[in-house]
Amino acid sequence: MKMNKQFAAITAAALGMSMLFTACGGSTGSTSSTSAAASSASASAAESAASKTAASESAAASASTSGSSQAASDTSSDLNSKSLDDIIAAVKEEGDVESVGMPDNWADWASLWQNLKDNYGITHTDADMSSAEELQMFQTEGENAQAAVIASNFALGGDLTNLDPAFEFWAQMAKDGRINTLDITQQNFETGEVEVGVVWSFTGVPYSKDITNYEMKATVPTDRSIQSGYASVINKYAPHPNAAALAREVMFSDEGQTYQANAGGIPTRTDVTIDGFDPDQYKNCILMDDTDAYSKACEEVVSRWQEEITPLLVQ
């Protein structure tokens, strides 16, 4: 689902990540343009979102399903009992870390992998997406659209139990021919086919930096938005568990938190000072930590959109 430049002051946030508006060419008239930024919430918020939010997505620091059953039974306890020095020593024998769903251009994972290579000699590969994973990707795109509607609902005074404000707004937008159904992608921004979009912050912030043929801006709306979280996961069958553990250590180091913040994430740690990062921009973001309520709202968004908005869209 896409929005144009008159879609103003509607919000959404998420993992540390938030939904904000990404816009090209600035605002027009009295409308303000905003875009969604991906963030990692506070430690407790991220954990809560990961465990409770039905639409939460998890990134696996090492998710290969290969490896021995013995390794499977030992990995978790070994990693929990090891010191950082022990992990670093063991990494020298492994030398590789595998990930699933952590591409370089998301939340600046590229800097994390480069850090591991430069400092510890660890090489990185991100698993190719299988057909099932591709389907999950499409499902995630759908969840993003649902999140945008729910975020706008909070901005307009609604909540998870009352979606009427959002649908009144979107119905009027549809009648006015102001809804663009193109995907909110970097390419569609660059061609000018999409002017304003509501996306998660880890998508919106990179767009604002990477697109050079327009003046792009990613903004967390100040009225209301929603926020969700990611969980870091080390698969107990991981063939290189120590490398995965070290990747997570770097992820939560000062440097790792800075990487994520600069890419639109909300740092999990609150004791790190990061130049250019203002945590107050997320103060009006509402954490979606009630799995049942959020899932029910997402289902309602899908059904009501088909019934109330789709018939109004100009094809």
pLDDT of amino acid 130:
54
**CATH 3.40.190 intervals, the chain:** 2-56+131-229+277-312
Check residue 31 and give its pLDDT: 27
Q: What is the pLDDT of residue 26?
A: 31
Q: What's the pLDDT at 252?
A: 92
pLDDT at site 240: 92
3-state secondary structure the chain: CEECCCCCCCCCCCCCEEEEEEEECCCCCCCCCCECCCCCCCHHHHHHHHHHCCCCCCEEEECCCCCCHHHHHHHHHHHHHCCHHHHHHHHHHHCEEEEECCCCCCCCHHHHHHHHHHHHCCEEEECCCCHHHHHHHHHHHHHHHHHHHHHHHHHCCCECCECHHHHHHHHHHHHCCCEECCCCCHHHHHCCCCCEEEEEHHHHHHHHHHCCCCCEEEECCCCCEEEECCCEEECCCCCCHHHHHHHHHHHCCHHHHHHHHHCCCCCCCCCCCCCCCCHHHHCCEEECCCHHHHHHHHHHHHHHHHHHHHHHCCC
The pLDDT score that the predictor gives to residue 292 is 93
pTM: 0.70
| Segments in the chain below pLDDT 50 | 1-15, 25-73, 76, 131-140
How is domain 2-56+131-229+277-312 classified at the CATH fold level? D-Maltodextrin-Binding Protein; domain 2 (3.40.190)
